[in-house]
Chain A
């Protein structure tokens, strides 16, 4: 029997896994409590990242539904700071651009305020704007009627109004009935307008929401409006949006192209969708704190385990375990414990995200960074939290472990 025939065997992965599973299974309650902290932390992180991605996806889907080919042209400012009015011919000029499929415009009727009745104090103007509008505006900006009908060639000449979604809310009008009227006040007196309908919110043109819309002819007849458009809404072929964008200012106001503001509302919404993640850092921080607490819990449970399992450690050393074997056993157990917490956390976080996204009619998006990162973080935490207990277990002298029970 030669001394050199001694081989040192690394433990097989399957054996290591079996040992850790047994170690955890023998102390189920304690193991699950200590993994809970990690589960909560991972769940918080996964849910926060998942919810923000899902809401972003929801918003982008909404933007896609509304269309990214809406462009707006608004009156700008002159060098002196006064409003530079768009020429009356501007909508017609824009409509002649080939790639433009629809054009509508509104004109802000200055110095007119709208009230539900003459009895409302004049200071309660609700920040509503009265705008003259062309007749297919709702379709062009991508909204529709919530109640009633939009203006038509007949009603646009008469004192008839349509309310934006927010305007109806602020005035306290939740139902349109025949003969309902609102009171529009000009510098020289007041005028009743019949209410024809209420619009749905217009996500791409939020200024419409807080508007009282009337026909151009009616505005000129009853409110002394000068007929200048102040905002032009147009749809272009999606592939040519950029080309149209470049032409718009010069087309709308050839004499003073620099006094025209051209924008693409969907861009602003996309930017908002992307900025929405900023609020999440607080919740991510809470998740991180929970992970830290979880790590301390796992470390603590493992340390207690080492104290309790002195005789097991001693026995394993007597059976031929090296210090390394003992170390890997306890490290693997801590990592498995944390990983189990991580898996539970990812499941919880993902279901929370899926549930909320379902309620909000978003598609569920859980970024791979969230679930893979959550699991990796759990494993790493297990390794860090298990290191000290594992080293302690390995350092335990076999004689003291076995003979001081």
Chain B
């Protein structure tokens, strides 16, 4: 395991300019290194999802700095952030977001659509990624023919297909029953074992219990980080 820093948040604040303004993140500092498997856990409204959006460069922080693979997100143009997401960040969502009309292979290949790879290469990589999540025999199937757990595996394959520096998963087991949820967690653990950096957002303590590092959030603050002593960067 290298000591490379993948995500670095320094006193990040996020205020939504509604009336009245909503403060979602307060002074969050967090460092994720390559190869880590992190759970961000907290009740709903604690700012977990906002944290994921900021870590994934889908949203800009109001204050503080966010560095993703050493790139400062603040002020970076849209094109640059998009290229960053295309090559270095993989997302997994609670609702899977698969295209129902397309095959599993094409769903996963779309994960590489914006990284300048030829369609032949995209499909080859997609087949490998689907094999890695245990769906190598169903490349031509459609998402509608799959169970929820299998769909989430496809979504994970799509996040992995570009070998990103970090995979950000938002409640990956939220739409699954407990058994399938556990299987998905097992898969994430296997991927972590092969060196993938994974951050999982969850409200479920039992899910978080699977991860070696847990960051607990409440009211937009990090209230506990099991790696706090090691990094010395939490509040």
Q: Quick check: B114 and A324 within 8 Å, CB to CB?
A: no
> Which residues of B lie under 8 Å from residue A18 when comparing CB positions?
119
Instruction: Tell which of B84-92, B132-140, B213-221 binds the partner.
Output: B84-92
Interface: B61 (CB within 8 A):
no
- From B49, B70, B86, B93, A320 is in contact (CB under 8 Å) with B86
Instruction: Tell which of B96-104, B146-154, B222-230 binds the partner.
Output: B96-104
Q: A3's closest neighbor in chain B, by CB?
A: B71
Instruction: Tell which of B36-44, B51-59, B184-192, B203-211 binds the partner.
Output: B51-59
Q: Quick check: A317 and B69 within 8 Å, CB to CB?
A: no
Given A1-B4, A1-B165 in contact, is the A318-B114 Cβ separation under 8 Å?
Answer: no
> Which residues of B lie under 8 Å from residue A11 when comparing CB positions?
113-114
- From B71, B82, B101, B116, A317 is in contact (CB under 8 Å) with B82
Per-position contact with B for A380-405: 1 when CB-CB < 8 Å, else 0? 00000000000000000111001101
Interface: A323 (CB within 8 A):
yes
- Minimum CB–CB distance for B93 against chain A, Å: 7
For window 1-43 of chain A, which residues contact chain B by CB distance below 8 Å? 1-3, 6-9, 11-12, 14-15, 18, 22, 25-26
- Minimum CB–CB distance for A77 against chain B, Å: 81
Q: Quick check: A8 and B79 within 8 Å, CB to CB?
A: yes
> Which residues of A lie under 8 Å from residue B87 when comparing CB positions?
6-7, 320
- Expressed in whole angstroms, the Cα–Cα distance for A320 and B83 within the complex equals 6
- Minimum CB–CB distance for A207 against chain B, Å: 71
Interface: B63 (CB within 8 A):
no
- Expressed in whole angstroms, the Cα–Cα distance for A322 and B79 within the complex equals 5
Q: Quick check: B119 and A14 within 8 Å, CB to CB?
A: yes
- Expressed in whole angstroms, the Cα–Cα distance for A12 and B112 within the complex equals 12
- Minimum CB–CB distance for A255 against chain B, Å: 89
> Which residues of B lie under 8 Å from residue A316 when comparing CB positions?
110, 113-114
- Minimum CB–CB distance for B1 against chain A, Å: 15
Q: Quick check: B114 and A323 within 8 Å, CB to CB?
A: no
Q: A27's closest neighbor in chain B, by CB?
A: B101
Q: Quick check: B78 and A319 within 8 Å, CB to CB?
A: no
Interface: A325 (CB within 8 A):
yes
Q: Quick check: A319 and B95 within 8 Å, CB to CB?
A: no
> Which residues of B lie under 8 Å from residue A399 when comparing CB positions?
53, 58-59
Interface: A125 (CB within 8 A):
no
For window 111-163 of chain A, which residues contact chain B by CB distance below 8 Å? none
- Expressed in whole angstroms, the Cα–Cα distance for A403 and B82 within the complex equals 18
- From B83, B86, B99, A312 is in contact (CB under 8 Å) with B99
Interface: B47 (CB within 8 A):
no
Per-position contact with B for A229-272: 1 when CB-CB < 8 Å, else 0? 00000000000000000000000000000000000000000000
- Expressed in whole angstroms, the Cα–Cα distance for A12 and B80 within the complex equals 18
> Which residues of B lie under 8 Å from residue A14 when comparing CB positions?
119
Given A14-B119, A15-B119, A22-B102 in contact, is the A319-B58 Cβ separation under 8 Å?
Answer: no
Q: Quick check: B114 and A9 within 8 Å, CB to CB?
A: yes
> Which residues of B lie under 8 Å from residue A312 when comparing CB positions?
97, 99
Given A399-B58, A402-B93 in contact, is the A319-B110 Cβ separation under 8 Å?
Answer: yes
Q: Quick check: A322 and B95 within 8 Å, CB to CB?
A: no
12 A-B pairs with C-beta separation under 8 A? A1-B4, A6-B83, A9-B86, A15-B113, A18-B119, A22-B101, A317-B82, A318-B91, A325-B82, A399-B58, A402-B58, A402-B93
Chain A residues within 8 Å of B, Cβ to Cβ: 1-3, 6-9, 11-12, 14-15, 18, 22, 25-26, 311-312, 314-325, 397-399, 402-403, 405
- A7-B116, A403-B53 known, 16 other contacts, Cβ within 8 Å: A1-B70, A12-B119, A14-B119, A22-B102, A26-B101, A315-B97, A316-B113, A318-B56, A319-B114, A320-B87, A322-B79, A322-B82, A323-B78, A399-B58, A399-B59, A405-B95
- In order of increasing CB-CB distance, the 9 nearest A-B pairs are A320-B86, A9-B116, A3-B71, A320-B114, A322-B82, A6-B83, A320-B85, A315-B97, A318-B91
Chain B residues within 8 Å of A, Cβ to Cβ: 4, 49, 53, 56, 58-59, 69-72, 78-80, 82-89, 91, 93, 95, 97, 99, 101-102, 110-111, 113-116, 118-119, 158, 165
